[in-house]
Chains A and B, each alone.
Chain A
Amino acid sequence: MTELQPGVVLDIYRRILNIRRFEEEVGRLFTAGELPGVVHLYIGEEAVAAGVCAALRDDDYVTSTHRGHGHVLAKGGDLNRTMAEIFGKETGYCRGKGGSQHIADFSIGMLGACGIVGGGIPIATGAGLSIKLRKTDQVSVPFFGDGAANEGSFHESLNLASAMTLPVIFVCENNQYGEFTPAQDTMNIEDIAVRAGSYGMPGHIVDGTDALEVYAVVHRAVMRARNGEGPTLIEAKTHRRGGHAEGEEAFLAGQTYRLPEEEELARLRDPLLILHERILHEGVADAHALENIEQETTQRVADAVTFARESPWPAEESVLEDTWA
């Protein structure tokens, strides 16, 4: 951490806090019945998106998952438009046509969240191909979970990216569960990162609750990709604070699936608290400065909720807009 500029550390902290306060609010709104559909919260995993995106430029690409709010915000997405999309309003990123699982902001290289497990991986790989063909030094990052690492799209994309030396950093967020099933029940390996070896690329394991470690490892992989040295697989071990989806109690019908020791770990390894403590401990900023960031963030989230609530619903006629280009 000492080698990182204080500005970078605080930037990462802001991204984490932004996501945390936003997602807490989304959870409350869902419980209050204000949101249509379903939401999957990113709480507990913020250090991954924040650490990765802090190591990227605006013109770098990412693709995301069904648990995608954090990736949008970490990449620099607008809180108001993100919240409005989750509400299904006209002012949302996708004019209410995508919703929570399909938010994109092409202006900042966010090529879309994705409701299909593993669906974004080939698309980010294609963005990597495009970078290579256009001869720029951008990079492309698909975010995906442990579950996606068992999809064909993951294996095909890693092979393709490696065979073609594409500037892609594959970021696996291993949050220990594919929906409701522990990852350890669905694969006979401890670490997904070892799969990199099968495709002839480096694989790294990072503590996905430590944003600065994520940043450092991703930064090196990004430099490698920008230099034309090809793809990297990074497995960030992390924890999902909540369930697979908000409101899942309704269909769990009293069943439990979390392993108690893992749940305890998820509570202890809170990426927000970890970075908060390090910033104070190492004197990057004082409590007063962090409190200011907290207040700014809380206000921005509150403003986003007001914006979304007060935004109009899409006009019914717009159902036939945004069709053929």
Chain B
Amino acid sequence: MPRKASVDAIREALRSEMQRDESVVVMGEDVKLAVFAGTRWLHREFGDERVINTPISELAVAGAGIGAAATGIRPVIDLMFGTFLYLALDQIANQAGAMRYMFGGQTKLPLVFMTVNGSGISAGHHHSQPMHPLFMNMPLIKVVVPSTPYDAKGLLITAIRDDNPVLFLSPLALGSLRGEVPDETYTIPLGEAAIRREGDDVTICTAGAMSRRCMEAARTLAKEGIECEVIDLRTLKPWDEACVLRSVRKTGRFVAVDESFPVCGAASEWAATVAEKAFQHLRAPVQRVSNLDVPLPFSPVLESAAVPTTERIVNAARRCMQAEPA
């Protein structure tokens, strides 16, 4: 199978859907030149009408996407860096997520907001924040965080075909990662986790860029005789609760690893769900490993210390193994 970078996988997904459905358009700042390359060259095939360079007006562009989606277009809005979503929040939170429900089911909003997410390239706080928990907290918005080029393609195709607003957040740290990606079109259902590694001792739940770090941690722990089951959620909302609970019933130990801020982060949601629904199976307190509660620092040394490190993940799993049941 050909090996491709995430941005190539994203471009293939967009190309596949633009060929398949004339109502799919891509719009955003610099989508033709394409800083992150996912939309690059598409205008040559599909023209300026369907690959639209917009002003740097995140609020209006997001709202225009909503208005277009409500009237027969299937827009993919590329807002580039995840932090730029803050500028579009009124339209996403007050309108995109709410319109169908608020108007009694009168409309569908087939709409994808696409950005990179999180840190890893010393981009500084304004270009490095993890955005997913904010949107997980908004009703009726789907949140997708791929961790491999293969998943990026399949999930984006599904997201574009979905009739609901979907936030597609590519991990910034994995932009140059290569992996096997078939040339043909395929879909991956939203809300279906991938078990990256099976194990009987500790369930590690994660998503996005942290998937690789959790796999590293699992390899380290295996040398100590601790076998981890690593679950990559891939979709954060709706999320594959059943897969996680099944695993916890087997292992009795749970570590939630997420690249976001600790208070009300994604890890908190997973940990709370496990505590609520699998408490009787737990042999140790649930553990959360999240970003430190500071803005993302610039220096590579500080930046990597601010997000979950392999060492912190390993230590959390060890704490689970050492805990005695009450």
Contacts and interface: CB of A to CB of B under 8 A. Distances in A.
* A-B interaction: yes
Interface of A: 61, 63, 92-98, 102, 104-106, 111-112, 114-116, 119, 121-131, 133-134, 140, 152-153, 156-157, 159-160, 163-164, 321-325
A119 B110 CA distance: 19
A127 B91 CA distance: 14
Given A111-B67, A126-B63, A156-B59, A106 B104 contact: no
B95 to A, nearest CB: 6
A321 B57 CA distance: 34
B102 A156 contact: no
A106 B107 CA distance: 7
B224 interface: no
Given A122-B64, A122-B66, A123-B67, A325 B59 contact: no
A122 B91 CA distance: 8
19 contacts: A63-B67, A94-B106, A96-B104, A106-B103, A106-B106, A112-B99, A114-B95, A116-B94, A119-B90, A121-B60, A122-B59, A127-B68, A133-B25, A153-B60, A153-B91, A157-B57, A159-B55, A160-B60, A323-B101
A324 B102 CA distance: 12
Interface stretch (B31-39, B70-78, B198-206, B293-301): B70-78
B62 interface: yes
Given A106-B106, A140-B67, A323-B139, 15 more contacts: A61-B71, A97-B102, A112-B99, A116-B94, A122-B61, A125-B60, A125-B64, A125-B67, A126-B64, A133-B23, A160-B54, A160-B55, A163-B55, A324-B164, A325-B100
Interface residues of B, number: 43
Nearest to B50: A133
Contacts of B61: 122, 156, 160
A172 B105 CA distance: 29
Looking at A97, A111, A123, A131, which has the most chain B CB atoms within 10 Å of its CB? A123
B137 to A, nearest CB: 16
B144 interface: no
Contacts of A163: 55
Given A122-B63, A126-B65, A160-B54, A106 B70 contact: yes
